[in-house]
Structure 1
Amino acid sequence: MRVLPVALTLAGSVLASSGARAFDAAAAFGARPSAVDVSLSPDGNSIAFVAPTQGMGSVLYTVHVDPGAKPKAALTASGKPERLGGCDWVSNDRLVCRVYGILKDPSLSLLPVNRLLAVNADGSDHQLLSTASNFYTRGFALGGGNVIDWMAERDGAVLMSRHYLPDEHIGSRLGSSEEGLGVDLLDTRTLQKQTIERPLSDAVCYISDGHGTVRIMGVRGARKGGGQDTGIVHFLYRRPNSREWQGLSDYNEVDYTGFLPYAVDRERNVAYGTKKIDGRLAIVALALDGSSREELVYSSPQVDVDDLIRIGRRHRVVGVSFVTDIRTAFFFDADTKKIVDSLGRALPQHPAVRIVDASVDESKLLVFASRDNDPGSYYLFDQGAHQLHPLLAKRQELDGVTLATVKPVSYPAKDGVAVPAYLTWPPGKEGAKGLPAIVMPHGGPGARDEWGFDWLAQFFAASGYVVLQPNYRGSGGYGDDWYQRNGFRSWPTAIGDVLDAGRWLVAQGIAPADKLGIVGWSYGGYAALQAAVTDSSVFKAVVAIAPVTDLEEAKQEWRNWSNYRLESEFIGEGPQVRAGSPARNADKIKAPVLLFHGALDRNVSISESRHMAKSLESAGVRHELVTWDDLDHELDDSNARAEMLRKSEAFLRAAFGE
């Protein structure tokens, strides 16, 4: 295989080099990725990608893959409030994009809204694909539906789930009583539709076979008093050439039990999905022929097997992936395995190689390759010519910057349990002792950190800090025993593991006790604050980004929503709720605290940080709260992130007496 040094010439300032200016680490690491949501046209001759503009704004570019081709702007979103999500090709000259944003509502505060629209590659002929509302529409749909089949055989058409609301246009043919989620075959140019599945009020999702036939439907379980969700989804399926629904599985969204279907293989007539085996997620295949036959596709004795590998316009399933120390792929499709192995040999410095898109005939593949000290680049692999063409760097602002390597490690918790973690030293100082250090617990809490590039950890490493990212008990990915009752209900164990991460850094001589801080985002911010409450002697500075600070308040944020009961049960009741709320125990914190939060944060309300700041003020604890009126949970603004990094680094230096 030949790797050809033929990268695209990228026009304009969006992806232009920063020139010879002095390196600004906060600006470079805080910058939003220069190319995301990259996709390949059906003929394999063009790509589309989303690039950042000012604030949370973004622009969709399309460009031919020929050397020297100039990107064309096809769609722009200001970020106030509309933002661009992923865009995918529905034909060689047309794309479907998700537009989303946060709307302010006087009674419900913040509403997350998204819609799908179609646009030509040259920016012309915008069409709204989600159902439109009017003066007579009863209610408001937050979601705009999903493309469930890209209809490789029909140019410009998609099979799409769409939300319908009653239209009280009484006495008019325009009126309709239909309500719920249905499926339409939709021409993205003319908007002509064919109803495939009539809307059902309790339907939550549909899965096609990749060839235009709906085979699986998910239906929300009967709601309890007050319209509260139960967390149960009933999945139904159809046999080939049948319109009769039959029971497939009941899935519990709370404890992740039951079979959760992800995809249908038409040739094998099976549904692929996850199911717990011995307390860990495994990939299984259930027959869709009425036999209820179950086949174990892949399981791991150490971790959850949590992802399907799918390629092509029909998203066919070719393998699975999971994370031990490093994400690993298992391919049961021999041809795909051969291709990926070949790509790995062509890109030996990039162990994380994956196929992200393909032409209709799969002769051309869009490939992404990255590693811990490389944010990654996109390539076009032409199978017929056996050539690999570089296309785009994901983070052009970091081109040429020496980045840190990440090492999987483990450390002992107080009870002797080995806690997995990732350790990052400053570049060129691997193995050094006596450096300032940061413990960085991940968010979630039911998530986990993985080996790979992390812009936040890399910034602090570039600034001279050792960074330790623990997958504390309560993290996802390791099965039920590790997850326990989740990081809120089991906070004493989770926070104990986070504190032990700091103690281990000191015991190993990696960091002096007076130069140890903690930085966390979301649940990670909660863990940073609660660790300072639980043992004020370990960390000398606390940085909490969009943190939960009061567990009872966190439950009440969902009071007007149908998931309120589930959120309340997730957090729990009793004395542990108060004891586990940093804002109610601020007098126990001795280290200075720096808080960041966006006012449009719907994941964790900004009121949590404001409550924390008031409690710290009352307790006489040195602190600062930095807020942004127009940003959400992700603070997805390059300038805001750069400001956050600068302030955090200066705050840590001051707290460490440097």
Structure 2
Amino acid sequence: MAVAAFVWGAAGAASAQPAKVPVEAFFQNPAFTAARLSPSGKHVAATFRAKTGRIALVVMDTANLADAKVVGGFSDADVWRFEWVNDGRLVFSMADMLASQAEVRFGTGMFAVDRDGGDFRQLTEVDYGVGRRVGGREFLHLATRLHSVTRAQDSDDVFVLVPEFADDTSSNRLLNRDLLSYSIARLNTRTRALARVNRPGRTWQWVVDAKDVPRAAVTSDKGKAATHYLDPATGQWQQLNEFDAFRGNSFAPVAVTPDGSFYVSAATREGTEGLFRFDLAKRTIDPEAIVSVPKYDFRGQFIMDSKRLLGLRYTTDAESTVWFDPKLKELQAKVDAQLKATVNRLDVPTRPEAPFVLVHAYSDVEPGRYMLYHTETGELTPLGAVQPTVDPKQMAHRELVRYKARDGLEIPAWLTVPHGAKGRKLPMVVLVHGGPWIAAQTWRWDADSQFLASRGYAVLEPQFRGTLGLGFNHFKASWKQWGLAMQDDIADGARWAIAQGIADPQKVCIAGASYGGYSTLMGLVRDPDLYKCGVSWAAVTDIELMHTVNWSDFSEVYKTYGMPVLVGDPKEDTAQLEATSPIKQAAKIRKPLLLAHGGTDRRVPITHGIQFRDAVQKTNPDVEWIEYTDEGHGWALIKNRVDFWTRVEKFLARHIGAQ
């Protein structure tokens, strides 16, 4: 009863807030992280922050939410990802949301438990560098992770991805530099019995069909990748294609549906990726796409049970769901009619025995809420809010805009204007995402941009060339363009905002982390008249160091085959890489600069930050340096997130002061 009361209370906790939302409200850990319906719909599992401050796993009957039971929880860790194995059993992993990277003592692990809390089993190692046996069986390596659950409801099995390393040194338990592949295996969550699947090579991606057979796989070795299909007639793997693992531009497996059809993502005539059926008899892709969206690659998955396709969920600038089942299509319309301002993701039972579906509602101003919807009465019952300290009424809306880069390439960007502002000649922060080759950002709540908007700044987030999901040409245009055309895209976005009257030309600052931090520094080098200041954290400062620093989780494969294509060859492109490395151009940076780095950063080791700090301070007296000694590639601790953004607020106020 106490658990249910806590969960419901969280949903309504965002009531009256002060006019200026405190920085702490934006950067809390989530109070309610996820919910899942059981296959029958009779039960719902959820993860929420308990009174201990840790995230626990609770199970409730959908017909009686007050009868709640905590079935998973730790005193020194949080329950993280979880799934229903069947209607009576769950599998889950853990994380430590209260620890910095330096303090993390264990991996995510994998555990299983019955919905009543019984038959708890540890399935993998947890402690770094420790291999143990229990009941005659050795625990799986701590880097083992869940792939999917089986569709057969009489099974206690799950599919797991088992790592293979180049050697078995203890360092591999900390870094994945020598990770060679992931095999797939079927794991019994009660007996820990493991059935390995024959693989076609060094595999990285797997597709399991509706009959619980691993049917397709992608291998990658020495920069070459290939798609393979397991022929049901012969039981042998067939190679369907081969392509450059880093250049892409081929087809990749998406799903094998209950009728045995094989679907892949492949290039359309418009240059984006669509969803196609692959004709296995002819070994060709059908000429017409099943799904093709202008200006976006297909990113999504089928929703299906063991017998039929129910729908398709995909993402463009926002998430959408197309239901093939007429009843589910009607159900989505009813929910959307009640919740008009949010994306409403439905989690439907695969073999319904109860009149409930789960609704996850979120938007650009709403971090997320979970509710149960009664399909017969139309009643919505709240379960919990992701960030109860955030009041959507005080948040700023996020708008997708498009502008042309100087070479004519169209660049989409997200624009957030302060709540209640008229959007004319505002101080503006150009916020550059990391990666740089990550999926395009979507219409949802974002703590960084919302915080900046709450302090009076317009925020522009360019989806510059190289941002994934926007077509192959958009991706290819980024090759060897660090600090060059990629940088121009960002500057062109700032100038577009000035020309539109959105930004005050005298009050524009550039900011970002990781690649975004690198771009911040290069922006101050290349466009000193455009940006009045910069905020750079966890930044790459020297491209040469990306190749030479050993204490980094960049794989040798990426350094050997990826970076020469995408970033630049350290031998052939020496002059270009020197011209586009901020540390080599540090003397050109004269604008105020806020730098921050984590002492245990494994992606961009702190030597990047220290060497650049020392170089830029020789000619720039207005440099502020922050070192969080226990943090990694970003700020895991709430206190550090609050401290950092409090410093950012003061820094921006001094140099481009919000109106």
Q: Normalising by structure 2, report the TM-score.
A: 0.83
- In structure 2, the gaps of 5 or more residues are 169-179
Residue 571 (str. 1) matches residue 567 (str. 2)? yes
Distance 2:472 2:365 in 1: 32
Distance 2:308 2:383 in 1: 23
Specify which of 90, 95, 115 is matched with residue 85 of structure 2. 90
User: Shift of the alpha carbon at 1:126?
Assistant: 3.7
Partner in structure 1 of residue 267 of structure 2: 276
Distance 2:153 2:233 in 1: 19
Any idea what the Cα deviations from partners look like across 1:331-374, whole Å, max 9, x if unmatched? 55555433323322221122x22224635438633221222222
Specify which of 70, 73, 78 is matched with residue 72 of structure 1. 70
Partner in structure 2 of residue 463 of structure 1: 455
Any idea what the Cα deviations from partners look like across 1:531-558, whole Å, max 9, x if unmatched? 1111112111211232222112123346
Distance 1:593 1:203 in 2: 44
CA contact (8 A) 2:257 2:308 kept: no
Partner in structure 1 of residue 6 of structure 2: 10
Partner in structure 1 of residue 226 of structure 2: 234
Distance 1:185 1:512, change over 3 A: closer
Partner in structure 2 of residue 562 of structure 1: 557
Partner in structure 2 of residue 650 of structure 1: 650
The residue type paired with residue 25 of structure 2 is A
Q: Secondary structure at the match of 1:115?
A: coil
Distance 1:441 1:329 in 2: 29
CA contact (8 A) 2:144 2:160 kept: no
Distance 2:427 2:123 in 1: 52
Distance 1:355 1:129, change over 3 A: same
Distance 1:416 1:185, change over 3 A: closer
Partner in structure 2 of residue 511 of structure 1: 503
The residue type paired with residue 427 of structure 1 is H
Residue 444 (str. 1) matches residue 444 (str. 2)? no
Distance 1:645 1:105 in 2: 19
Distance 1:314 1:516 in 2: 55
User: Shift of the alpha carbon at 1:265?
Assistant: 0.7
Q: Secondary structure at the match of 2:299?
A: strand
Distance 2:423 2:284 in 1: 57
Distance 1:55 1:245 in 2: 50
CA contact (8 A) 2:208 2:214 kept: yes
Partner in structure 1 of residue 172 of structure 2: none
User: Shift of the alpha carbon at 1:288?
Assistant: 4.2
Partner in structure 1 of residue 122 of structure 2: 128
User: Shift of the alpha carbon at 1:657?
Assistant: 5.5
Greater alpha carbon shift after TM alignment, 139-148 vs 444-453:
139-148
Distance 1:166 1:201 in 2: 14
Partner in structure 1 of residue 176 of structure 2: none
Q: Secondary structure at the match of 1:627?
A: strand
Any idea what the Cα deviations from partners look like across 1:456-477, whole Å, max 9, x if unmatched? 1111111111111112233222
Greater alpha carbon shift after TM alignment, 53-62 vs 148-157:
53-62
Residue 302 (str. 1) matches residue 291 (str. 2)? no
User: Shift of the alpha carbon at 1:164?
Assistant: 6.8
Distance 1:552 1:188 in 2: 46
Distance 1:139 1:152 in 2: 25
User: Shift of the alpha carbon at 1:313?
Assistant: 8.1
CA contact (8 A) 1:140 1:165 kept: no
Q: Secondary structure at the match of 1:297?
A: coil
Greater alpha carbon shift after TM alignment, 141-150 vs 196-205:
196-205
Distance 1:400 1:261 in 2: 39
CA contact (8 A) 2:273 2:292 kept: yes
Distance 1:290 1:420, change over 3 A: closer
Partner in structure 1 of residue 29 of structure 2: 32
Partner in structure 2 of residue 115 of structure 1: 109
User: Shift of the alpha carbon at 1:88?
Assistant: 0.9
The residue type paired with residue 311 of structure 2 is V
Residue 188 (str. 1) matches residue 192 (str. 2)? no
Partner in structure 2 of residue 428 of structure 1: 420
The residue type paired with residue 94 of structure 1 is R
Q: Secondary structure at the match of 1:520?
A: strand
Q: Secondary structure at the match of 2:197?
A: strand
Equivalences for residues 171-250 of structure 1 within 5 A: 182-193=183-194, 195=195, 197-198=197-198, 202-221=202-221, 229-230=222-223, 232-240=224-232, 242-250=234-242
Residue 544 (str. 1) matches residue 540 (str. 2)? no
Partner in structure 2 of residue 174 of structure 1: none
Distance 1:21 1:151 in 2: 45
CA contact (8 A) 1:149 1:159 kept: yes
CA contact (8 A) 1:32 1:52 kept: no
Q: Secondary structure at the match of 2:604?
A: coil
User: Shift of the alpha carbon at 1:213?
Assistant: 2.0
The residue type paired with residue 601 of structure 1 is D
CA contact (8 A) 2:401 2:415 kept: yes
Any idea what the Cα deviations from partners look like across 1:3-49, whole Å, max 9, x if unmatched? xxxx9522699889489886652100111222223222233233333
User: Shift of the alpha carbon at 1:241?
Assistant: 5.3
Q: Normalising by structure 1, report the TM-score.
A: 0.83
Specify which of 262, 266, 275 is matched with residue 258 of structure 2. 266
Partner in structure 1 of residue 468 of structure 2: 476
Q: Secondary structure at the match of 1:10?
A: helix
Any idea what the Cα deviations from partners look like across 1:29-87, whole Å, max 9, x if unmatched? 111222223222233233333345899964434444434455626123746xxx65311
CA contact (8 A) 1:131 1:164 kept: no
Distance 1:627 1:58, change over 3 A: farther
Distance 1:15 1:599 in 2: 37
Partner in structure 1 of residue 160 of structure 2: 160
Specify which of 348, 353, 358 is matched with residue 349 of structure 2. 358
Q: Secondary structure at the match of 1:548?
A: coil
The residue type paired with residue 277 of structure 1 is T
Distance 1:303 1:630, change over 3 A: same
Distance 2:233 2:649 in 1: 62
CA contact (8 A) 2:398 2:416 kept: yes
The residue type paired with residue 571 of structure 1 is V
Distance 2:432 2:291 in 1: 29
The residue type paired with residue 85 of structure 1 is W
Partner in structure 2 of residue 172 of structure 1: none
User: Shift of the alpha carbon at 1:300?
Assistant: 2.8
- In structure 1, the gaps of 5 or more residues are 1-6, 169-178, 222-228
Distance 1:336 1:436, change over 3 A: same
Greater alpha carbon shift after TM alignment, 559-568 vs 454-463:
559-568
Any idea what the Cα deviations from partners look like across 1:262-291, whole Å, max 9, x if unmatched? 221131x12222112233111112244565
CA contact (8 A) 2:427 2:657 kept: no
Partner in structure 1 of residue 638 of structure 2: 638
Equivalences for residues 142-153 of structure 1 within 5 A: 143-153=143-153
Residue 340 (str. 1) matches residue 318 (str. 2)? no
Distance 1:508 1:212 in 2: 54
Distance 1:357 1:209 in 2: 19
What is the total number of aligned residue pairs between the two structures?
623
Specify which of 314, 324, 329 is matched with residue 321 of structure 1. 314
Partner in structure 2 of residue 374 of structure 1: 366
User: Shift of the alpha carbon at 1:496?
Assistant: 1.1
CA contact (8 A) 2:264 2:277 kept: yes
Greater alpha carbon shift after TM alignment, 93-102 vs 137-146:
137-146
User: Shift of the alpha carbon at 1:113?
Assistant: 5.3
CA contact (8 A) 1:10 1:71 kept: no
